[in-house]
Amino acid sequence: MQAKTAVVLGAQWGDEGKGKIVDVLSGRFSVVARYAGGHNAGHTVIIDSKKFILQLVPCGVLRPGCRAVIGNGVVLDPMAFLKEVEHLKELGVDVAGQLFVSDRAHVILPYHRMIELASENAPGRVKIGTTSRGIGPAYEDKMKRSGLRVIDLLNSSLLRTHIQNACHEKNTIARALFSSDPIDPNMMYEEYARAAERIAPFVADTSRMLNDALRAGQSIMFEGAQGTLLDIDHGTYPFVTSSSATAGGAATGTGVGPTKIGTVIGVTKAYVTRVGEGPFPTEIHDGQGELLRARGQEYGAVTGRSRRCGWLDLPLLRYSSQINGTEWLVVTKLDVLDTLQEIPVCTAYKINGKITDTIPADVRGLEAIEPILTTLKGWNRATDNIRTFDELPDAAKKYLKFLEAESGAKIGMISTGPDRDQTISLPEFAATLERMSASGN
């Protein structure tokens, strides 16, 4: 019997509209668990024209009765978390007894931000385009086994010792390498000891909680952050994030075994965007890129940074489906293409004169890609009010069927706008979700 779980993740470079999709699907699940990333991963959800911007908190918190879990694979900024919780309360969301934080998640502290900001701006460094929120350095400390976990944050004696020792080390490094001003460990301790008291009610052994939920027949959605091509192992390295954004991260980032993963749902835009630096084979450099940016409101939910826009990249999507084991695709922002007479799609690459559909591992190979484009006919008709696949213009159906045939996954859902109801769910996908949520949700 297939496990009643689904991983929902970005199939491109992030910003695919996962927030809305997780929100739409969360009505079918008992728990939504975030498994990677930090507060650099913004999800925007619009409900009855009311906008919710979530950074750390899983979208399930917006569904009464659905538990929201921040897993051990996430790095938690205590101040950002508390600010987000207060904002949700102001918007009428009751988080008490519904929101939980893993006791094993690692903590972002001020010296992580100091180190990242100084490092990113250091002379001679290749800029990655980070948000300078301390996420990378927090994962570095985790991997070198010198990090602070949420459970440690609640131990005042351990917290004081950790901050004293870490500040001595980080201040020395920052002063020597970047001439940064030092951080006062005593002030930091007082601030974070107070924050720990407010975070304590949310802390739990979330691995136990999730596995208990599965044993009770309940359903779980694992919510990804960023996107597949930003994964630390499988992305366009070094222009990647610091965590496992692919489906495998759902197991390591929550403490639920891989045999408990039922299906993988990849979210892809009908085109492609990317924030920050790094290779982007199908990037558009003319007015059509500006048109997509304007129609798609392509600006970061957390940072406000404008996103680079490009045509749909099918080799990239096939690679994403391969490493995630993607069964279903959700195609978002179809409506952004409504005014185009013709729509180019990348079907293969040319690298040094050779045709391939394989993504190179090295940056130089990625930068040498010449996209081979196939032009499909546009539909030149509004789709934002359409609610069934059959009602879509014929050219839009052909575009979606072409995407499906070339991607290696089945299209299960189509989004034609930011609101919950601007969503088309195909029958087979809806039936799959119905089986997951039956008895026990």
Q: Mind telling me the catalytic residues?
A: 15, 43
Query: Residue 425, SS3?
Result: strand
Q: Which residue has the tokens 């970061």?
A: 300
Locate all alpha helices (DSSP H) within 121-225, ordered by sequence: 135-143, 150-153, 156-178, 185-199, 206-215
Q: Are strands 31-34 and 67-70 parallel, antiparallel or unpaired?
A: parallel
Distances (CA, A) of 273 to 154, 247, 313, 437: 40, 20, 10, 32
Q: Which residue has the tokens 């924050």?
A: 195
For residue 173, count other CB atoms closer than 10 A to its CB. Answer: 16
Instruction: Write the CB contacts of 429 (distance below 8 Å, at least 6 apart in sequence).
Output: 328, 410, 411, 412, 413
What is Dmax (Cα atoms) for the chain? 66
Query: Residue 355, SS3?
Result: strand
> How far is it, in rounded angstroms, from Cα 415 to Cα 361?
32
Sign for the CA dihedral angle at 333, 220, 3, 245 comes to: positive
Collect contacts of 393-398 with beta carbons under 8 A, ≥24 apart. Answer: 396/334
